[in-house]
Structure formats: C-alpha cells, structure tokens
Structure 1
Amino acid sequence: MSGRRDDEATGLALYDRTARDAAAAVIAAYSTSFGLASRMLGPRVRPHVRNVYALARIADEIVDGPASAAGLDAETERRILDDLESETLAAIGRGFSSNLVVHAFGQTARECGIGEDLVRPFFTSMRTDLTTAQHDGASHDAYVYGSAEVIGLMCLQAFVNAGETTPREPAPELVDGARRLGAAFQDVNFLRDADHDAGELGRDYLGSASREEVLARIEADLGAAAAVIPLLPTDCRRAVTAAHDLFAALAVRLRREPEPQKRVRVPDPVKAAVAARAWLGFAPRSARA
C-alpha cells in the first residue's frame, strides 16, 4: 500500500513524526498534570520528554491492571514486559521499531544518550510489581530508583543533550536533583494511592515507614531538587518548576489530611495558578505546609 501528501513528510521522517504523535497521545490520555507541565517545555525538549513518559506508561500498564483485565496471568505479563524491554534496547541500537511508542523512545535515547544503564533498572522495577507485594526499606529504595529516579535521569539527558551532536554527561548536582525529584514524585504517589495499591493491587510500597517519615523524606527531596532547578537549561526550568510545585502542593495537602477519605488531588484552579507562577519565572515553592 502506498500513498502520500505532497505537503507532508514522507518515509522515515513521517514515521518519526507519527511515533512522536503517538507518544504525545499516550501522555494526553493518562496524565493531565504531566501534560500541563510538559507543554511548558521548550520545543527542543518537549517531544523527548513525552517519548520517555509514554514508554514508562505503557510498561506500567502491563503490570498495573489493564493486562490483567484482558485476562493475562502474571507469567504472560512478565513475558510481554520482557519483550518490551528487548524491543526497546533493540530500537536504541538499530534506530527503528514497529512499535510506535518504542520507536519514539529509541529516537530520543539515541539523540540524548539514554542507554542500557537506565533502561534495564526501569524494567527491573516493573517486573518487581509482578513478584513483590510487601516492600521493606531496601526494596522500596531499589524500586524507586528503577521506577522513578531513572525516569528523572532520562529526562535530564534530554534537557542537557536534545539538539546536540554528541551527548554529554550532566553535572553531578543535576544528576542528584533529578534522582531526588523522581523519588519525591514516587513517594507522593505511594502515599496518596496507598489504599488503592493495597485494596486493588495487593501491594504495600512503604513497608514499616511511618507517614511522617515518608512526608519528611518527600519534603527533603523536593527541597534538594528545587535548589538545582536554576542550573537547568532555560527552556526546561519553568516546566520542571511547575511539576515540582504540583507535587509540593500534593505533599502539603497530604500533611494536612493525615487520614484522607478520598484520593488527595490538586484542584484545577490551583494547578492553573501553579502553572502561571512557574511560567512567570518564580522560584519553586516549599513543600512544607
């Protein structure tokens, strides 16, 4: 089958663009908060960050319900996840995948210097969801590194290297900030989704850590991340500030409601105010109530 429109890209350029559009559609469908923050990224970086998050979302959905709802057992889910990991690594190497989301991620990985050292820990954490229901401190930390901190590191690679001829290593302080921001995001999600994780998925990610201990960790991580946001490229700072501040607002609400009756969320008018404040260039807000 063939066909083309003379005013549009063709061949690999068209395929690349379609893959990026597919990744953007995944994010638009699954995350209003992330969609809001990603729109504040400069055009140099925006598609790459969407590509990273789209792959992460697809992998997450394999282990968090939809695959099971389709009738798949844990062993089949693991096999599909393994296949997705293999295809992702192959796409990075060869520059093409028949899976549009994987293709988009592979293009980002090749341009921005995202390698196996970040991809494999992510899939390891996703596989953990198929085998581990109760976490302790050590398994929590390992899970958070693979499921969240490496996503922050992948995004940092895009922040630093998008549009560059040769990828370079980010500064150590930016690496630490990216890891701690990712960890804070994940711990906020663990706290506000604890009832769902326990009731629907049978998982406890926080183990014996008290709510106060988790909140203190979140606040410390958000504070450390906020300190290095001014060191990011200018076309990334507003978006990262907005994402930081949305989760800081969630942390404040979680502290104010020690036993929330429903899932804590940031109302849309507050999200809009957070985005406006970040867009105007204000410094990140504190996560302390």
Structure 2
Amino acid sequence: MAQRSAHQVINTYSSSFGLATALLSPAIKSDIRNLYAMVRIADEIVDGSARQAGVRDEDIATLLDNYERAVIAAPASRFHVDPVLHAYAGTARRCGIRTDDVRAFFRSMRTDLSHNEHSDNSLDDYIYGSAEVIGVMCVDIFLAGRQVTPDLREQMDIGARSLGAAFQKINFLRDYAEDTQELGRVYFPACAVEGLTDGTKKQIVADIRDDLTRARTAIPLLPLGARMGVLAATKLFENLTDKVDSRSAAALHRRRIRISAPHKMWITAQAIGEALWMSLFG
C-alpha cells in the first residue's frame, strides 16, 4: 500500500517523469518513485497547496521544518503511519541516501519561503539543493548493492547534477508565468529588472543545452536498469528545451509550455531505441 501510495504521487504530478520511470528496472523504479513522492510533498508545502488549504504563511515554515525532521528520522524506523514516509524510509535505508543531501534539499525549499529574487550565487545554491542533490540521490538508488570505482561514481554524480540543473532551469522557464504572476518569484537574476527577454531566454537556453550535453556523457556509464529511463527523461526535457527555444519570451509570460501526450509517447519510444543501440554498440 505504501509503495502504491508513493507511486500515485508521480502519476498525479508529472506525466513526463511517470513515463520515464516506467522504463526503469522494477527495483530502481520503485525506489525512484518513493524518493519523488517525498520530494513532491515538500515542494507542495512551499508552492501554494498549504496556503490553499488555509495554512497561515507564518505556519508554513513550521510545517516544512517538521516534515524535514520526519524525513531525516524516517530511515531509523521500520514503521510509519504516513505511507509516503514509510515507502521513502525503506528506499533511504536500502540505497544509503545521505542526510547531508536531504538537508541541502530542504534548505532550498526553505529559500522559497523567504527569497523572491536571486543573485547568481544564491541561484546556484538553490539549484544545487533543489535539483542537483536529487540527481545524486538517484545515483545512490541506481547503484544500490553495486560497487563502482570512486572515479566512475564521480563521473555519474557530475552527469546527474548536470541533468538535475537542466531540469530545474527549463522548469523555471516553462513556469515563468506562474512563478512571477502567482508566486511572485523571479529565479533568474537577469530577469529581475526587465523581466524575461528574448536575449535573456537565449542565454539561459544555451546554458541548459550545455548541462544536457554534459549529462549525456554519463548516461552510458549507468547500470542497464537505469539507462533507458534516464535517457527518456533527458530526451523529454531536450524536446521541451527546443519548444521553449522556439517560443518568444512574451509567450512564456502568458502560459506554460507543454508537450502533448502523443509526442511524449513518441519521444519515449525513441529513447527505447537509442538505449538499445547504446547497449549493443556503445
């Protein structure tokens, strides 16, 4: 029941990641979805659901603090009344998810409660905690029960951090209208004065493409059970980057950019073919 509850979270919130995780091996798929469920709930605390439920702004920070303590303590207990925490705790124990990485993630979530704009340094710190360490946790899951050299692990971590950073930046662009108009947040420092312009968008997209290129170099290093799913997620976000790149900045001010369901299925099928080719021919 706990596993199914955690899996339902990803199916509800992200069809793209839901498709990508379907291509993972069964054990990896289950643990990735358990991790996603915990992360998603923390994100919902700071991104409006708590306020919509009537929680006062001054109490949201307390909610987040309490949830962080529960998540950090979860692996030490074999039973939880919260099914998502129960599922996550098993994953954290099996895969060796590190407390420091969890704390870094919650630091970034806490930033959303107090910072509406970022400097270059604070944005780097935010992306590290909100996305890059999630990539590192995913590598923990991919390698559970496996031994790799420190050099190989470092290469995988670099790729995972780059992919997480790319995902976060493209989501900032596609969610620009909601973030600025509903949440009052401006993540990119270059947008703080004039808003998102075509020139700024071009620079950000180029940065995202660099991250994706760096991430792709690590995909062949991943275990076979993880490779196809990671490649599918990468290709989905590459396509999303292309769509954002083809739109004007003014269009991003108005609405969120999406990929249609049939197109997602086509991209996923392409990822399966590319992953098989990669496995056969390197």
Report the TM-score, using the length of structure 1 for normalisation: 0.87
For residues 162-216 of structure 1, what are the alpha-carbon distances to aligned partners after superposition, in whole Å with 9 as ceiling and x for unaligned? xx28899761100000000000000000011111101000000112162222111
Following superposition of structure 1 onto structure 2, how do residues 8-19 of structure 1 map, counting pairs within 5 Å?
A: 18-19=1-2
Aligned to 1:187: 169
Matched, 1:196 2:189: no
Match of residue 72, structure 2, among 57, 73, 89: 89
1:98 CA displacement: 2.1
1:93 CA displacement: 2.3
For residues 105-134 of structure 1, what are the alpha-carbon distances to aligned partners after superposition, in whole Å with 9 as ceiling and x for unaligned? 111111101011110011111111111001
Name the SS for the 2:18 alignment partner.
Answer: helix
Aligned to 1:279: 272
Shift in CA distance, 283/252, structure 1 to aligned 2, threshold 3 Å: farther
Following superposition of structure 1 onto structure 2, how do residues 49-198 of structure 1 map, counting pairs within 5 Å?
A: 49-161=32-144, 164=145, 171-198=153-180
Q: Is the 8 A contact 1:63 1:129 kept in 2?
A: yes
Give the residue type in structure 2 aligned to 1:135. Answer: H
Distance 2:201 2:274 in 1: 32
1:48 CA displacement: 0.3
Give the residue type in structure 1 aligned to 2:123. Answer: H
Name the SS for the 2:24 alignment partner.
Answer: coil
Q: Is the 8 A contact 1:193 1:263 kept in 2?
A: yes
1:97 CA displacement: 2.4
Aligned to 1:33: 16
1:100 CA displacement: 1.2
Distance 1:191 1:151 in 2: 20
Name the SS for the 1:44 alignment partner.
Answer: helix
Distance 2:227 2:2 in 1: 26
Q: Is the 8 A contact 2:2 2:86 kept in 1?
A: yes
Report the TM-score, using the length of structure 2 for normalisation: 0.90
Shift in CA distance, 171/249, structure 1 to aligned 2, threshold 3 Å: same
Give the residue type in structure 2 aligned to 1:245. Answer: K
Distance 1:47 1:76 in 2: 32
Match of residue 211, structure 2, among 201, 211, 221: 221
Superposed CA RMSD: 1.9
Name the SS for the 2:40 alignment partner.
Answer: helix
The gaps in structure 2 that reach 5 residues or longer are 192-199, 278-282
Structure showing the higher helix proportion among its residues: 2
Following superposition of structure 1 onto structure 2, how do residues 263-278 of structure 1 map, counting pairs within 5 Å?
A: 263-278=256-271
Equivalenced residue count is: 265
Distance 2:212 2:43 in 1: 24
The gaps in structure 1 that reach 5 residues or longer are 1-17, 285-289
Aligned to 1:242: 232
Distance 2:206 2:276 in 1: 21
